Structure 1
Amino acid sequence: MDNNNMRRLEEKGRECLEGGDYGKAVKIFNKALAVQENHVIRNNLAMAHYQTGDYDTCLRSLQLNLADGAILNPYAHSLACLALVKSGQLRDARIQLEKAIKEMDEGTRALACAGKPPPSWNEYAVIVLRAAGALQDHRLVFKLYNKWRNRQSNWENAYFGGVAAFNLKKYRQAAGCWTSIAPVWRPFMAMQRVAVLADRGDIPHFTLEYDHFNQDKIMKMAADAVDDPVKMRQMISDSTVRLFYLTIILEEEMDLKLRNLFLSYIIKYGGEWGSRLGQDWLLSPAINDELKIAAAMTLVETGVIPPGEPVTMYIDNQQREVYMRGYVLSPATGAKMVRVYQEAINLAGDGEIKEAIRLLEGPLLEEGTVYPPAMILLVRLYHNQGVERKKRQLIDMLESISENVDDLKLHSEMANMYLDIDEIERAMKHAAVIKSKCPPAESKELDKRLSEQLARIYMEHEIDAYSDFVIQEYRRKVEDKRLAISPGLAQGIKNMPAGWLSAACQSYSLAPARLRKDRERQITALLQEEENLQIIIQGLDPAGRELLRYLLQREGWSRINTLTRKFGSMDDDGFFWEYEPPGSTLGQLWLRCLIFIGRVQINGRNTKIAAVPVELRPALSRLLG
């Protein structure tokens, strides 16, 4: 058999190995080895046996590659380590790992003398790290990753380095490893957020395996286990499954119902760890309110939170008590409540508000009955009577229901309810939900209904609401402009409205030039002098300096949603900054042209970021260091 035929045979075997057809791969590799011995083909043969779970045959296949005097082969020693761990022979596995590391270093030095080691050699580091991980030697994995990472291009090295750092509770280093490979695969960015939340104490520690999660395999496991609590508990105890579920839960563009479902699985079947995660999330400003409601409802369902008792939660940007119940929506409940609801409407219509309230409170608050029309009516009656605490309690219940049922009519009724009680932002939130979920065939009718609801917002309830809404939209259009991830002063300033440039000049006690281009020059010239920057930094409040440090420690930029969670939003900053400067930390820095905000393509997504101008980064790093 000539070399070309051998090469084709090897490639075919490798394709079978990578495609999961291990039996066929074994046959092809054995056929090739019968013609000619080759240490690479022998490694691949052993890996095919390993993948089938035949660890003894895997070790027998490696004997020639492991023999004294054989060619340097860190791959073979690492694979032997993996097979020995699976067989419970940990002492022998450690010996093979030590040989793999020794040969990796010796081979690298020898190849370096003849030039740069080839990528194929450097990629052996992946299986060495995996072998060290199989022995649960997290410190060694992290040490080897740092030792070898400058010459590694394979993303798996950074993945395993992140796993080791996470297991050592070095969460920030784990986040850094996974962020570095986020362009390779989108879930790595969600894993980065898992590490950040663990660093904040929002995710209880758990030990990760040195294995990649197979999405299809996990989803099949979930489908098989969904009606079996024992299987569900076994599945959620698997750290790889936990990590996969957390990446889905924290991915904001995933379907909310799926995220809530996976969160309920983690809390319900994750034992003490899952229960603690659910309780920690209730108080975390970093977790969105919809997930907190789902967590609270699952904690009620599992008995951790008693039904009807107040729960302290960080919700609506404040810490307060929220009332949760276990809900059952049934036709029988509806039939019973229709009569009560109609009677309450009649009483309220006759001016007997307190009697209507008493009639509804019994089934809704004391018995825990769920009937959204009656609950919405009671909210309106409480608002009429100024009963704030009970109104909040009922609104919390309605919000938790609306998050867990697909009922466009309920969202519409809640939008109208919020209009009636002057909670404009909540009304618009529910209107947006209707628009996003309504089928296309209903869009005309929907647009008409939404227009009517928005007209009520603008014209009937708060005369300033329309202008406030438009002002926010003006500013959001500026925020949505294209920006480089490392913007220059020229680009960032050019994105700013003319009025903002005048405001920037005023903030620096500069008399604004008449022409825009001259105002741009004034600001650019001022900021490029380090002495001026030192004075400017001294005049910032502590939050402003901290935000700049935060960005500079992260290559000069960050996603805007991360910054708003940590430093506050720009929601109330308006648009006409020359008359009323922004009050938020982000807005104040943007006004001074110390940061710019805009959208950039990251992993194919149009992402809003804040970034320090590239010309200012060296000087600001020195001044803030």
Structure 2
Amino acid sequence: MTVKRAKELVDKGRKLLSDGDFAAAGEAFAAALELDEAVPIRNNLAQAFFLAGELWRALEVLEPSIGEESEKGESNPFSYGLAARIYVALGREEQARKYLQQAIKSYEDGWADLRRAGQVGTHFFREYTAIIMRAAADMKDHRRVFDLYRRWESHHVSWENVFMAAVACFNMGRFKRAASLLSSIAEVHGLFAGMQKVAFQVERGAIPPFEMSYELSPRYDMQEMTGDENAKSEAGREFAHDGLSRMTVLAWLLDDDGSGEADQGLRGLVQYGGEWGEKLGRRVLESPVFSSAAKMASANALIERGVLPENEPIPMYIDGEQRMVEIRKTPVIMNPDKELDRIVDQAIQLRDKGQVKEATELLQDLQRREKLYPRAIMTLANLLRQQKKYDESLSLMKMLEDMFPDSPELLFNFAALMLQMGDLSRPGNIMKGLTVPTVKRNSRKSYTDWAVT
């Protein structure tokens, strides 16, 4: 009965641990340990304290398993692996390496015992490879992480082992191997497929190398980059120097859904990412891999940093060729303008006569003259869409979305563009904003003027 009750408490503790309630998990494991002095229960209690940041309490719990008085010959790799992680967190690397070595020896001694007993298929023991590799990862000993992965390659039962091996390869500059490993676990989480693309683009030189994080829980949020200028800059720097933030934004960017949020993240990386951020911004401008919107985000961030001059041509690779693009801050003409309306009407008449190119040039001339008029922008975006110049059209649509996020005319045309680009999921999300109460009586006239059929 006592053992059964201890098991119930352990199951409860593990559930609380997975939910992130470390204090409650610790209470459950402590109660279980009073009923059953089993090493795995002691390990669970120590892990709960470790995750809660109570490092010395975690070591105190582990002491009977890892101390000199512990039973000789007992294979206890998890205890030693966790002790190594705790000492890394305490900044005591010499002790950490000592316990890592003991964890490796304990695992291999235990594996030899299982082989002799004909029990090498034991799943729970194979799981210990993950915490041992993780201890090496905490030390940022990338070579050791990958060596352990290869040493026990037939033992691993968790995708985490493969992920850590991929991170180690990425950080050692073995980007193709990292991409291959990430590809093998792509079905576990969509982010891994994006990470594979990032590794491939780093290998090709489109993205400057950086140190990838072994963590998969984000520590920073783009939403924190708000508030007063000092707070925003500090949050931006922390975000842009975090390995997981870099990898996530870049993976998101390479799978761009047209939402604009990935471009916002890219701008943060370039603006606050120091020397690496500047290199990233320049490579985005030079590479055919990234969208026009991403290039504009990079250019604006580089201008904001003072790296590139404002109102001067900037070389960019757009629509299959190198171009000189001038970035200017142009005020938007929000009030009705009879002269500009006359030009837009003229462009629509040219379009209706089949003179799409001439209509496009007429409205592009307005932009060159810094006449940023929403009705003209929408008409131009649709003309570009009609000519399958999707990147240019998307850039204009995003500009309008920033100004008029609830406009029914914009939502309709934006959804049409995404359908033409082959994105079948985005239009539904866009059209959710198109509700009957937002449509005014005169919207029919505006819609007819703006939409291209």
- TM band (smaller chain): 0.7 to 0.9
Query: Which of the numbers 250, 255, 260 marks the counterpart of 1:251?
Result: 255
CA positional deviation for 1:323: 2.8
Tell me how far apart the structure 1 counterparts of residues 378 and 60 of structure 2 sit (CA, whole Å).
72
* Counterpart mapping for 1:204-603 below 5 A: 204-214=208-218, 218=220, 221-227=221-227, 228-252=232-256, 254=257, 256-329=259-332, 333-335=333-335, 338=337, 341=340, 365=368, 368=370, 370-373=372-375, 400-406=395-401, 409=409, 437-438=430-431, 453-454=452-453
Residues 167 and 206 of structure 1 are in contact (CA less than 8 Å); yes or no, is this contact kept in structure 2?
yes
Secondary structure of 1:182's aligned partner: coil
Residue-by-residue CA offset, 1:534-584 (whole Å, 9 max, x unaligned): xxxxxxxxxxxxxxxxxxxxxxxxxxxxxxxxxxxxxxxxxxxxxxxxxxx
CA positional deviation for 1:66: 0.5
Residue-by-residue CA offset, 1:336-387 (whole Å, 9 max, x unaligned): x826536878999xxxxxxxxxxx9999546x452355679999xxxxxxxx
Match of 2:6 in 1: 6
Letter in 2 for 1:57: R
Letter in 1 for 2:38: N
Match of 1:27 in 2: 27
Tell me how far apart the structure 2 counterparts of residues 441 and 15 of structure 1 sit (CA, whole Å).
42
Residues 375 and 398 of structure 1 are in contact (CA less than 8 Å); yes or no, is this contact kept in structure 2?
no
Residues 85 and 96 of structure 2 are in contact (CA less than 8 Å); yes or no, is this contact kept in structure 1?
yes
Tell me how far apart the structure 1 counterparts of residues 77 and 40 of structure 2 sit (CA, whole Å).
11
Match of 1:113 in 2: 116
Residue-by-residue CA offset, 1:242-300 (whole Å, 9 max, x unaligned): 22222322234x45222222222222222222222122012222223332333334334
CA positional deviation for 1:151: 2.1
Letter in 2 for 1:143: D
Match of 2:193 in 1: 189
Residues 240 and 246 of structure 2 are in contact (CA less than 8 Å); yes or no, is this contact kept in structure 1?
yes
Tell me how far apart the structure 1 counterparts of residues 127 and 410 of structure 2 sit (CA, whole Å).
56
Match of 2:184 in 1: 180
Tell me how far apart the structure 1 counterparts of residues 212 and 427 of structure 2 sit (CA, whole Å).
40
Secondary structure of 2:372's aligned partner: coil
Match of 1:96 in 2: 99
Secondary structure of 1:205's aligned partner: coil
CA positional deviation for 1:153: 2.0
Tell me how far apart the structure 2 counterparts of residues 134 and 236 of structure 1 sit (CA, whole Å).
21
Residues 47 and 58 of structure 1 are in contact (CA less than 8 Å); yes or no, is this contact kept in structure 2?
yes
Tell me how far apart the structure 2 counterparts of residues 25 and 435 of structure 1 sit (CA, whole Å).
44
Residues 66 and 79 of structure 2 are in contact (CA less than 8 Å); yes or no, is this contact kept in structure 1?
yes
Query: More displaced, 18-27 or 88-97?
Result: 18-27
Residues 411 and 434 of structure 1 are in contact (CA less than 8 Å); yes or no, is this contact kept in structure 2?
no
Residues 175 and 199 of structure 2 are in contact (CA less than 8 Å); yes or no, is this contact kept in structure 1?
yes
Residues 29 and 45 of structure 1 are in contact (CA less than 8 Å); yes or no, is this contact kept in structure 2?
yes
Tell me how far apart the structure 2 counterparts of residues 24 and 396 of structure 1 sit (CA, whole Å).
52
CA positional deviation for 1:316: 1.1
Secondary structure of 1:72's aligned partner: coil
Match of 2:154 in 1: 150
Tell me how far apart the structure 1 counterparts of residues 223 and 64 of structure 2 sit (CA, whole Å).
44
Secondary structure of 1:212's aligned partner: coil
CA positional deviation for 1:89: 0.8
Residues 50 and 86 of structure 2 are in contact (CA less than 8 Å); yes or no, is this contact kept in structure 1?
yes
Structure of higher CA gyration radius? 1
Tell me how far apart the structure 2 counterparts of residues 241 and 345 of structure 1 sit (CA, whole Å).
43
Structure 1: unaligned runs, 5 residues or longer:
349-359, 380-394, 415-424, 455-625
Secondary structure of 1:213's aligned partner: coil
Tell me how far apart the structure 1 counterparts of residues 32 and 125 of structure 2 sit (CA, whole Å).
22
Tell me how far apart the structure 1 counterparts of residues 427 and 4 of structure 2 sit (CA, whole Å).
61
Query: More displaced, 199-208 or 292-301?
Result: 292-301
Tell me how far apart the structure 2 counterparts of residues 138 and 369 of structure 1 sit (CA, whole Å).
54
Tell me how far apart the structure 2 counterparts of residues 11 and 410 of structure 1 sit (CA, whole Å).
53
Tell me how far apart the structure 1 counterparts of residues 346 and 225 of structure 2 sit (CA, whole Å).
51
Residues 74 and 100 of structure 1 are in contact (CA less than 8 Å); yes or no, is this contact kept in structure 2?
yes
Match of 1:357 in 2: none
- C-alpha spacing 1:76/1:304, structure 2 compared with 1 (3 Å): same
Letter in 2 for 1:92: Q
Residues 411 and 433 of structure 1 are in contact (CA less than 8 Å); yes or no, is this contact kept in structure 2?
no
Tell me, yes or no, if structure 1 residue 168 matches structure 2 residue 168.
no
Tell me how far apart the structure 2 counterparts of residues 226 and 296 of structure 1 sit (CA, whole Å).
21
Tell me how far apart the structure 1 counterparts of residues 33 and 57 of structure 2 sit (CA, whole Å).
15
Letter in 1 for 2:82: L
Letter in 2 for 1:323: E
Taking only aligned residues, the RMSD between alpha carbons, in angstroms, comes to: 4.2
Tell me how far apart the structure 1 counterparts of residues 32 and 132 of structure 2 sit (CA, whole Å).
26
Tell me how far apart the structure 2 counterparts of residues 320 and 27 of structure 1 sit (CA, whole Å).
64
Match of 1:617 in 2: none
CA positional deviation for 1:146: 1.3
Tell me how far apart the structure 2 counterparts of residues 32 and 299 of structure 1 sit (CA, whole Å).
57
CA positional deviation for 1:165: 0.4
CA positional deviation for 1:427: 13
Query: Which of the numbers 77, 86, 89 marks the counterpart of 1:86?
Result: 89
Residue-by-residue CA offset, 1:441-472 (whole Å, 9 max, x unaligned): 689979x969x944xxxxxxxxxxxxxxxxxx
Tell me how far apart the structure 2 counterparts of residues 128 and 257 of structure 1 sit (CA, whole Å).
40
Letter in 2 for 1:9: L
Match of 1:351 in 2: none
Q: Give aligned pairs, total.
A: 414
Match of 2:78 in 1: 75
Letter in 2 for 1:203: I
- C-alpha spacing 1:365/1:204, structure 2 compared with 1 (3 Å): same
Residues 80 and 102 of structure 2 are in contact (CA less than 8 Å); yes or no, is this contact kept in structure 1?
yes
CA positional deviation for 1:26: 1.7
Question: What TM-score results when the alignment is normalised by the length of structure 2?
Answer: 0.78
Tell me how far apart the structure 1 counterparts of residues 110 and 270 of structure 2 sit (CA, whole Å).
48
- C-alpha spacing 1:183/1:8, structure 2 compared with 1 (3 Å): same
Tell me how far apart the structure 2 counterparts of residues 374 and 200 of structure 1 sit (CA, whole Å).
39
CA positional deviation for 1:426: 12
Residues 213 and 241 of structure 1 are in contact (CA less than 8 Å); yes or no, is this contact kept in structure 2?
no
Secondary structure of 2:323's aligned partner: strand
Identity value in percent: 30
Question: What TM-score results when the alignment is normalised by the length of structure 1?
Answer: 0.58
Query: More displaced, 303-312 or 153-162?
Result: 303-312
Match of 2:16 in 1: 16
Structure 2: unaligned runs, 5 residues or longer:
348-362, 382-389, 402-406
Tell me how far apart the structure 2 counterparts of residues 334 and 20 of structure 1 sit (CA, whole Å).
49
Tell me how far apart the structure 2 counterparts of residues 132 and 345 of structure 1 sit (CA, whole Å).
64
